[in-house]
Structures are given as structure tokens and as C-alpha cells.
Amino acid sequence: MIGMDTRFVGIAELAEAPSVAVVVDVMRAFTVAAWAFAQGAEKIILAESLDDALALKARHRDRVALKDGPPAPGFDMVNSPGLLRSVDLGGRTVVQKTTAGTVGALAVKEASLVLCASFVVAEATARLLRTRRSDSVTFVVTGDDGQADEDLACAQYIARRAAEAGTDAAGFLRRAAESRAAAELAEGVRQGVHPDDVALCLELDRFPFAMVAALEDSLMVLRPCAVPSLADATSI
Ligand SMILES: O=C(O)[C@H](CS(=O)(=O)O)OP(=O)(O)O
Ligand SMILES: [Mg+2]
């Protein structure tokens, strides 16, 4: 991946659709999304608004709606990995609407490849970028108008990891642990929180899949994507 051109931008700085976009939300949308797949969800529809989320849920009986912040009527779950990890989502479709992560993914829906990422899927995301040999990758730092250090640290880590397999994650994880979002989650400033949320958001490579979002019948749909490791590939 030597020579990959990387940009790190906030949602508001996105002028035109990038070719390849990695949308990063560590705390908590794309940690939650990864947990939803681990708990058996088939796909996640990224909703434009809370009203759209409820309307999308109402169209099919198998759908569950998830929002950030406090619980609300009509929504089945909140944006918390700690709360989600005990829910069986086998075969279900999740409809997710959050303040930052889902907005970031919808902002790049015209890109040719959209990956949604966080630390729990960092290595698989980096591996997918390596496999695609993209010349240019735009990392969307979703939190705090592009300033959220947990998202920027994760984006920078994935970019480095895509270029150099030996990159050490420790410093990047430390920045995320010391971010404002982590403090707000720990101190109860944010709502819909489980005490393990920050720790779960900092679990490097907990899951072996990347997450790819693409338009399906005009809806932005996120799905897990298996990315064989080099060891798997060479053992075949
Ligand atoms: O759920 C989250 O952590 C945030 C929303 S808030 O900052 O807690 O209100 O949403 P996300 O889109 O996952 O950053
Ligand atoms: Mg966030």
C-alpha cells in the first residue's frame, strides 16, 4: 500500500463523493454495528432520521430500530455495545440512526466503496484496503465536526496499518481512551450507556470482518464482509 494518498475530514468538509471512504465512529455507532453482526444481525439499514428509522421498522416485522441517546418509544435498542451484546439478533435487520456515525456514512453514499469502521474491526478494515489497492482513501472522522480524537486516532491507525502491518496500536488506543467521548460516556454525560461501553469500544480487532455499506434500493445498507488474513490465504 505504499503511496496510498489519505485524507482525514469531518462530515461538513466532504465536498464531492470520494472514491473510497472509510467512515469512522469508535464511540459508538460502528462498535455497536459490529456487535450487532456478532449477535447475528443480517444487515443494518442506516436511517436518515428518527422518523425514517421508525417508518423503515414498520415496513417489516423482522426489523429492530436502534437510536443513540436515551430509549424512546418505538425504538427497541440504544447505541450501546454493552447493552447489545446480550441481545439475540439472529437473522434480524437492524435500523440504526445516530448523531454522527450513520450521518457520516450517508454523506458518502455515492462513493464506490464505503467502509464503516472502529477499533473492533480495524485490522479487517486495513486488510480490505490493502486488498483493494486503493490509490486514495478518504477517512471521515465523524465525531465533533471532525475533531473527535477517538475517531481520528482510529482512522490514523487504520491508515498506518494498511500501509505497514507492524504498526503498534497502543498510542492510538490511548488517545481514544483519553478522548472527550470516553470521558462523557464514563461520567454519564451521554445517555443510553452501559458501564462497559468504553472498554468495548477500545477492544482492538475483536471481530474478524470489515463492514461495507452500499446503496440497495436507495437505502444505505451495512453488511459484514469477511476478509481472509494472509495466513488464511496462504494456508489454502
Ligand atoms: O451514541 C453515541 O455515543 C453518539 C451520540 S451521543 O454523543 O451519545 O449523543 O452517537 P454516535 O453517532 O455513535 O457517535
Ligand atoms: Mg461517535
- Name the residue type at position 192: G
68 lines ligand 1 (CB under 6 A): yes
Q: How far is the CA of 149 from the centre of ligand 1 (A)?
A: 14
Phi/psi of residue 17, each to 5°?
A: -65, 125
pLDDT tens for the 236 residues of the chain, in order = 556 899 999 999 998 889 999 999 999 999 999 999 999 999 999 999 999 999 999 999 999 999 999 999 999 999 999 999 999 999 999 999 999 999 999 999 999 999 999 999 999 999 999 999 888 999 999 999 999 999 999 999 999 999 988 899 999 999 999 999 999 999 999 999 999 999 999 999 999 999 999 999 999 999 999 997 766 544 43
- Asked whether the beta carbons of 139 and 158 are under 8 A apart, the reply is yes
27 lines ligand 1 (CB under 6 A): yes
- Asked whether the beta carbons of 98 and 29 are under 8 A apart, the reply is yes
- Asked whether the beta carbons of 39 and 215 are under 8 A apart, the reply is no
State which ligand 1 atom lies nearest to the alpha carbon of 32: 13
- Asked whether the beta carbons of 9 and 140 are under 8 A apart, the reply is yes
pLDDT for residue 228: 79
ipTM for this prediction: 0.92
End-to-end CA separation in angstroms for the chain: 23
Q: For the chain, percent helix, then strand, then coil, each to nearest 5?
A: 40, 20, 40
101 lines ligand 1 (CB under 6 A): yes
Query: What residues have CB less than 8 Å from 74, skipping those under 6 apart?
Result: 54, 57, 65
Q: How far is the CA of 59 from the centre of ligand 1 (A)?
A: 26
- For atom 7 of ligand 1, which residue has the closest CA? 190
Name which of 222, 232, 231, 193 is nearest 121 in CA terms. Answer: 222
Of the CA atoms within 13 Å of residue 32, those in its CB half-sphere come to 29
Residue 21 CA to residue 6 CA, distance in Å, equals 10
Residue 166 CA to residue 53 CA, distance in Å, equals 40
Q: How far is the CA of 102 from the centre of ligand 2 (A)?
A: 10
Pocket test for ligand 1, best of 98, 120, 147, 196 (most atoms within 8 A of CB): 98
Q: Provide the residue ranges of all domains of the chain, joining segments of one domain with +.
A: 5-225
190 lines ligand 1 (CB under 6 A): yes
What's the predicted TM-score (pTM) here?
Answer: 0.95
- For atom 14 of ligand 1, which residue has the closest CA? 100
Ligand index nearest the alpha carbon of residue 149: 2
28 lines ligand 1 (CB under 6 A): yes
- For atom 9 of ligand 1, which residue has the closest CA? 69
Q: 5-225 has which fold?
A: putative 2-phosphosulfolactate phosphatase (3.90.1560)
Ligand index nearest the alpha carbon of residue 148: 2
pLDDT for residue 234: 46
Secondary structure string (H, E, C) spanning 17-63: CCCEEEEECCCCHHHHHHHHHHCCCCEEEECCCHHHHHHHHHHCCCE
